[in-house]
Amino acid sequence: MSEEKDEMSKQGDEEEEKEDRKSEKAREGEKKKEQMYEKPLPYPKVLSRNEKEKQFRSFIDIFKKLEIKMPFSKALKQIPAYSKFMKDVLTKKKKYIEEETIEVQGQCSAIIQKLLPPKFKDPGSFTIPCTIGKLAVGKALINLGASINLMPLSMFEKIGDLEMKSTRMTLQLADRSIKYPYGVVEDVLIKVDKLIFPADFVIMEMEEDKEVPLILGRPFMKTTKVVINMDDGTLKLKDKDEEVIFNAFDDVQQCNEEKAIPEAANEIMCVSDKSDDHQLLMQSKEPRLGEPIILKDKLWVFKSKTKDGRFEVEAPYSRVTRKISRKQWKGCWWNRGKKLTKIKNPP
């Protein structure tokens, strides 16, 4: 009997344990349900009827407080227009914005009041006409970014009277490529109008540029005491008391500090230095590229030869081109007897 009682008690204990486990699992399930995140509805909550009634009552109260001090007939006439305005305001298509004064800082006020200087476009590069030996160069580029004076090998062969030296110099170009020069020429005399300057050139085996065959860098600019005025577009070369001024926008200007030149503002005085060699070049059948001439008191530079046998000339700075015949070209040499020649501004 005692054994049966013990078995009964064990069975009762096991059943109680099972029930306790079930109750614990049920509690854990309820806790998990409570802890689960409830996602909000994708649409906004719709106002209840009570809230709508409250809004309607407040609207009626505000509407009762409105006062219209005008005849009723005028109000009826303006109702169609006012209803449209009211609809735009309620649908937020239009907003009533009051005028405001906003204090602006100094930087913004300077831009608004246009106190800053005006902006200008690129005036272009500066070129000068020069002569090396018997070769006349119509456009030699003045380049502040170049640390050397550069001459192509074809031009060196045209000059013919220069002595070249070998060099181990290497040139690094803007695209990071490395070039090896053909050689170096020292103490080359460059004639710019009446002034003569010495310069060293690096000779490169490259294609000669038709418009700007020669590059004069910072060493030449230091030797000639170059002063560039970007506002006036002038470039000044100086040697002791004499100076030469080139105008990139008009034409070549020339002056001397010791002598005042009483001429009109639209005319430029140029000292002519014309040898027999230059006159023979002007009379030759085939002119050279960049060769300067004077045509109707204006400076021009030979550019190319057309198919019909005429010559195309170009103004050095305005880049205006013109076609002339062979007879006109032969008659365009400088006068021997005159020391001063007037050159008007180019067209």
Q: Which residues have C-beta within 8 Å of that of residue 223, sequence separation ≥ 6?
A: 197, 198, 199
Report pLDDT for 345.
38
Report pLDDT for 97.
59
What region, left, alpha or beta, does residue 194 occupy, with left being phi > 0 and alpha being psi -120 to 50 degrees?
Answer: alpha
Residues 158 and 162: their CA atoms lie apart, in Å, by: 10
pTM for this model (two decimals): 0.42
**DSSP collapsed to 3 states, the chain:** CHHHHHHHHHHHHHHHHHHHHHHHHHHHHHHHHHHCCCCCCCCCCCCCHHHHHHHHHHHHHHHHHCCCCCCHHHHHHHHHHHHHHHHHHHCCCCCCCCCCCCCCCHHHHHHHCCCCCCCCCCCCCEEEEEEECCEEEEEEEECCCCCCCEEEHHHHHHHCCCCCECCCCCEECCCCCEECCCEEEEEEEEEECCEEEEEEEEEECCCCCCCCCEEECHHHHHHCCCEEECCCCEEEEEECCEEEEEECCCCEEEEECCCCCCCCCCEEEEECCCCHHHHHHHHCCCCCCCCEEECCCCEEEEEEECCCCCEEEECCCCCCEEEECHHHHHCCCCCCCCCEEEEECCC
Residues facing residue 324 across a β-bridge: 311
Residues 139 and 143: their CA atoms lie apart, in Å, by: 12
**Integer CA distances (angstroms), 154 to 28, 29, 97, 207, 277, in order:** 98, 97, 74, 8, 21
Report pLDDT for 202.
93
Q: Tens of pLDDT along 248-277?
A: 654 433 433 333 333 333 332 333 333 344
Report pLDDT for 270.
34
Assigned architecture for domain 122-249 = Beta Barrel (2.40)
Burial class (CB in 10 A: 0-12, 13-18, 19+), 235: buried
Report pLDDT for 171.
87
Report pLDDT for 198.
92
Q: Tens of pLDDT along 2-44?
A: 556 566 666 667 777 777 777 777 777 776 666 565 666 555 5
User: Which residues in the chain land under pLDDT 50?
Assistant: 250-284, 333-347
Report pLDDT for 240.
82
Domain ranges of the chain: 122-249, 260-347
Report pLDDT for 271.
33
